[in-house]
Structure 1
Amino acid sequence: MTLTPRGLDKVEALVDKGVHIPNPWTIDIDDDVDVDRISGDGVTIHPGTRIRGGQTVISAGVELGREGPVTIEDCRLGPKVQLKGGFASRAVFLEGANLGLGHHVREGCLLEEQSGGAHTVGLKQTILFPYVTLGSLINFCDAFMAGGTSRADHSEVGSSYIHFNFTPTGDKTTPSLFGDVPRGVTLREKPIFLGGQGGAVGPVQTNFGAVVGAGSVLRGDVLEESHLVIEGSSRAIRRPYRPTYRSLVPMVRKNVTYLAQLDALEAWYVHARAPFFAGQEFGPLVAEGARAMLASARKERCSRLAKLAAKLPGGDESQTRVSAAMGELIEVFGQQAGQPPAEVLGPLTSAASAGSSYLEAVHALEDDAALGLQAWLSGVVAETTSRAHTLLPDLARA
């Protein structure tokens, strides 16, 4: 009896394209994988790799499985991505992003250029801006992080850090912002440092330059810039517990802020980043995937808000009012931002036309140009939050 491994024909096609596969019989490729969406330029696929999903894209220079088996499902990988051992599903990794052995990445993750982490990192609905680095043994779901100017000056999450994103009442309306989109995209802000063996109880927001000491559990916002925070509990608490909901509006307000940041980031991808993707092999497909991750993030946050509204105490009439008010609020987000003035995007558009990479172009921006881009995106955030905040009194009354 002759045994033929599944996907062997696709493996052979990839080898013919120039993909380096040291042991072809150890690779498992699903029938729905399109080999035309896998580059033959400098790609290396090590033994134990599983590739699944018709949406999968693997760009030039990608390396899979250097440290251990890797499974990817419907992931879009930009150039020179390294997934060294683990599992990733319905996520997008831009040029030079990397994760070590034991990573577990689920839907809604977008790791931008040269961001990533060491071994045993768990992510879901997570957005990391360029250079952001996660240590080992980390759970960092439902969070956005920016900050830093280079690989030598980057935002860092220390090992054994947890973003606590699930409440005793079973809610996940807990997205946290570490930095922000309008300032973060220009790669000029001070890095954020979250010390190891610590955590953050979402939803929280920290400003650029924040330093949270090792072992601290952050339970509130750090809105001051370049601020040191060391927190701990010095007293024991033991008392009867009954699940209750605090005031709805402050929690919703933080979700509104997060959703507005997503709208600004989508505007950035639509108007500023698109020309850079156009110059890459499979670039438009990777860009499409990145925007899909933003849509997934928006859908997740809106879904969590709707579920929260449905769980609030009160009679049928009260529930109807809350659900209606929350539905109206949710409709504010995801509307296409207007075209920014041509002069705002001019430097980036020119750089893309000249063949500059995205990071090179952003770093080369003059200060006035960077401020103009920040002002545009801040306007997107302000407009969205303003429309949402006009509905918060209705939600409070409901």
Structure 2
Amino acid sequence: MDTRCQQLMEKGVQIPVPESVWISPDVDLNRISGNGVILHPGCRISGEDTLIHDHAVLGREAPVTLENGQVGPGVALNGGFFSHATFLAGASMGSGAHVREGCLLEEQASGAHTVGLKQTILAPFVTLGSLINFCDCYMAGGTDRKNHSEVGSSYIHFNYTPNQDKATASLIGDVPRGVMLNQPPVFLGGQGGLVGPVRLAYGTVIAAGTLWRKDETRPHRLIFGGAVKAGNVARGPGVYGNVNRIVQCNLVYIANLLALRAWYRQVRSRFIRADYPEGLHEGALTRIEGGVRERIRRLVECMGRFETSARQIMALQPEERPVPKTAQRQLALFAAKDAVEEDLNFLLSEGVEGNLAVRDAFLDKLDPSGGYIETITGLPASVSAQGTHWLDSIVSDVLARVRLPDDGR
């Protein structure tokens, strides 16, 4: 028997077949709780940042590989690969999961079997069905386990374009309202997909079998449609269309992540205790900040392609004609990419606090003596609205401080 497994068993970890479990030498055994934790056969655990909290269960359905992940109390990772991801209390994933870097599943968020995630944040209670690829998304909505946002089985978030970029993150709900746990759920019907980047409002229902490509920022809309109309047309490789929308969607997404970071720093930090330890909190912040860096990188890479796109558009235009406005806009945004990158990195490093008076008034009314979920869901509507106002001011501040050419927003 591995001596490290023996040490864990001596502190109370249940390992039914210790000969089949591998604990890497870089794992700090003090960060694995002995209270109700079960490591089923086939578990492989590594990484100095790994944390496993009380009553977590790994590998009940199939072997689990956990690399530098933080597993909160009562989390069930039933089978699959989990790397540089954070799971808050009661989150769960079925067998066949493939959860890679940048993922944060908040309280009681869940996925059934064979779900792939990367750079995805699921707010409390959000539920994913089976056979889903849902990378590069933030999704919120709902109030509890019986009233929650859901993604139906066999759903795809398309996050890679024919132009070979990933400036495609989709915002399903938003942070300022989503963290208050008082919004109508979003339902994405199975056998369908979103082509990112997309923004959807709370209360949106997309019917099963629908492939959706557009923003819908009006709440409570039913969206439905069939397959894409057949066609066969000439295509210019590397040519972009509505670049204003691409840039705007990405900036709004980044601004929301910065608002979420402020929420964790100012609100979640007040709930650090035995069931939400410092290590779990730090893991969540690491995922959020890493998500901001990823989105900045992807946006700047995409903007770096706009010059080539503009040149191709101009090449199709007779010389005596003026430069098309589409090409002009793409050249202007290409020229602005370094300034955009500088501004966003500055906002990430320095932090954005928004309206401090509103923030402080909200925090003064927050009593962290109870549990996090119970406290937030129990806030009076007027207090929740105050918190939303504060977070909205962060989003607005970020968008106002990024230097874009005129009419870029």
**What's the TM-score once normalised by structure 2's chain length?**
0.90
Deviation, structure 1 residue 395: 7.1
Which one of 72, 75, 80 corresponds to residue 78 of structure 1? 72
Which one of 147, 159, 162 corresponds to residue 165 of structure 1? 159
* One-letter amino acid matched to 2:340: M
* One-letter amino acid matched to 1:39: S
C-alpha contact 2:120 2:138 (8 A) present in aligned 1: yes
Partner SS, residue 333 of structure 1: helix
| Residue 365 (structure 1) aligned with residue 375 (structure 2) | no
| Residue 377 (structure 1) aligned with residue 371 (structure 2) | no
Which one of 345, 359, 370 corresponds to residue 363 of structure 2? 345
Change (3 A) 1:68 1:374: same
C-alpha contact 1:309 1:326 (8 A) present in aligned 2: no
| Residue 242 (structure 1) aligned with residue 236 (structure 2) | yes
2:5 and 2:86 map into 1 onto residues whose CA distance is 23
1:239 and 1:391 map into 2 onto residues whose CA distance is 33
Counterpart position of 1:263:
258
Instruction: Please list every run of 5 or more consecutive structure 1 residues that lacks an aligned counterpart in the other structure.
Output: none
Partner SS, residue 104 of structure 1: strand
* One-letter amino acid matched to 2:372: Y
Deviation, structure 1 residue 321: 2.9
* One-letter amino acid matched to 1:385: L
**Count of residues in Structure 1 that have an aligned counterpart in Structure 2:** 383
Counterpart position of 2:338:
324
Deviation, structure 1 residue 307: 1.3
What per-residue deviation string (whole Å, max 9, x for no partner) do you get for residues 95-138 of structure 1?
Answer: 00000000000000000000011000000000000000000000
Counterpart position of 2:321:
none
2:390 and 2:333 map into 1 onto residues whose CA distance is 38
Aligned Cα RMSD in Å?
A: 1.9
Partner SS, residue 51 of structure 1: strand
1:333 and 1:215 map into 2 onto residues whose CA distance is 40
Counterpart position of 2:186:
192
1:257 and 1:321 map into 2 onto residues whose CA distance is 20
Deviation, structure 1 residue 198: 0.1
1:34 and 1:95 map into 2 onto residues whose CA distance is 21
Counterpart position of 1:274:
269
Change (3 A) 1:206 1:303: same
C-alpha contact 2:306 2:334 (8 A) present in aligned 1: no
Deviation, structure 1 residue 322: 4.2
Deviation, structure 1 residue 217: 0.4
Deviation, structure 1 residue 242: 1.9
Deviation, structure 1 residue 224: 1.3
- Matches of residues 264-303 of structure 1 in structure 2 within 5 Å? 264-276=259-271, 278-280=272-274, 283-303=277-297
Change (3 A) 1:128 1:255: same
Counterpart position of 2:31:
37
**What's the TM-score once normalised by structure 1's chain length?**
0.92
| Residue 221 (structure 1) aligned with residue 188 (structure 2) | no
Partner SS, residue 92 of structure 1: strand
2:332 and 2:144 map into 1 onto residues whose CA distance is 51
